Amino acid sequence: MGQVTKIRAAEVKTRRAKVQGVAKADLPLGRILPGDCVAAMRSLPDASVDLVFADPPYNLQLGGDLNRPDGSHVDAVTDDWDRFESFKTYDDFTKAWLAECKRVLKPDGALWVIGSYHNIYRVGAILQDLGFWVLNDIVWRKANPMPNFRGTRFTNAHETLLWCSQGEKAKYHFNYTAMKTLNDELQMRSDWTFPICGGAERLKDDAGHKAHPTQKPEALLYRVLLATTEAGDVVLDPFFGTGTTGAVAKRLGREWIGCEREDGYRKVALKRISKELPLDESALKTMQNKRAAPRVAFGALVEAGLLKPGTQLFDKKRRWFAEVRADGSLEHEKLTGSIHHVGKTLQDAPSCNGWTFWHYEVDGPKGLDVKPIDAVRQAYLLGIED
């Protein structure tokens, strides 16, 4: 880490310590608080949390079963926790939990809320009425959305995330450089493409059914936490579900607190999180849609767990070695930057194709094999096509 980066990190840590006001020992870190989220949050001290990520009920207003054209049943959200008698009932519930979020957040803390067209506009208006300030609305574009089986509307292929500070003039935390590095030195845009949660990442119950109908992909939380928190920060999730926020927080060295009223979800979440190791992305498997995003940023491979933070890369002749960091940058002694920038600087060259310059070791049938990191990119693209 460069000296300037170290100084900045120290300043951030000092500033946060001044406004923290609550010892971490007084917080239920690494615990899931049972019962209603509003009541659970009331047990937390004022100004004690750095970030809230909320995935509240969407109030989908689904009536009856949903079937495909072939008559098969669609596993949609029909649980009681998503049922509200009226919009007013939903609004009152939203005001209550958002007010508690505002109370427990530090002055420089931030709120993330995710929703669909069913609820995000109501949530957005309420959070603004409570004094939150919207910094961005992020469009999560689903690479593999569920089709509109009845053919009566456009396919609903996205969800919206609102990122908010405590007020118009409130300070907040944003790792701009990390996001730019994650995106191969281009500014990270407000439209993100990830698939819906599936494959090995989708948790199942004992009967083989989805453990939770709206489990979010871990790559989505990885980007949120990497962008707007630092290691050691406290992240609260009022609607913890099966623990995606807690799993990713533990992986990235963040502290977490969850609220979840459903016993079954709490059981699945605790089992899931207990298996996580800090900065171990082996459970991540996320693929972008190739047609929608033909470019592959090196950071996307780190997000997807195909190259883990801490991996040693080297040039073909092993003259230089560099370590992969959590934001997709490389570190060689005091030099940090993208795969292209570090390679260019080390060679004192006008440019460098980091994809072919950097190599890594992988276990092969005949022992350790050396491959360029472009092989990882090609494997990633094959996964997209599948």
The pLDDT tens digits along the chain (386 residues) read 344 334 444 444 544 444 445 677 789 999 999 999 999 999 999 999 999 999 999 887 655 554 445 554 445 445 564 577 888 999 999 999 999 999 999 999 999 999 999 999 999 999 999 999 999 999 999 988 878 767 788 988 999 999 999 999 999 999 998 888 888 889 999 999 988 877 777 777 777 777 777 789 999 999 999 999 998 899 999 999 999 999 999 999 899 999 999 998 899 999 999 888 766 333 322 223 333 334 688 998 999 888 999 999 999 999 999 999 999 999 999 999 999 999 999 999 888 999 999 999 987 777 778 889 988 888 887 664 43
Residue written as token pair 């002055």: 107
Tell me how crowded residue 154 is: count the other CB atoms within 10 A of its CB: 6
Distance, CA of 71 to CA of 62 (rounded, Å):
18
CA angle at 217 for the pair 55 and 311, rounded to the nearest 5°: 130
Dihedral class, residue 197 (left if φ above 0, else alpha if ψ from -120 to 50, else beta): beta
DSSP-assigned letter for residue 26:
G
**Could you tell me where the beta strands, DSSP code E, fall in the chain?**
31-34, 49-54, 105-115, 133-142, 158-165, 191-194, 234-237, 255-260, 312-315, 321-324, 330-332, 335-337, 358-364, 367-372
CA angle at 35 for the pair 29 and 38, rounded to the nearest 5°: 80
pLDDT for the residue numbered 78:
53
Amino acid at 36: D
- Residue range(s) of every CATH 3.40.50.150 domain in the chain: 24-283
DSSP-assigned letter for residue 7:
H
Q: Which fold has domain 24-283?
A: Rossmann fold (3.40.50)
Global pTM value? 0.68
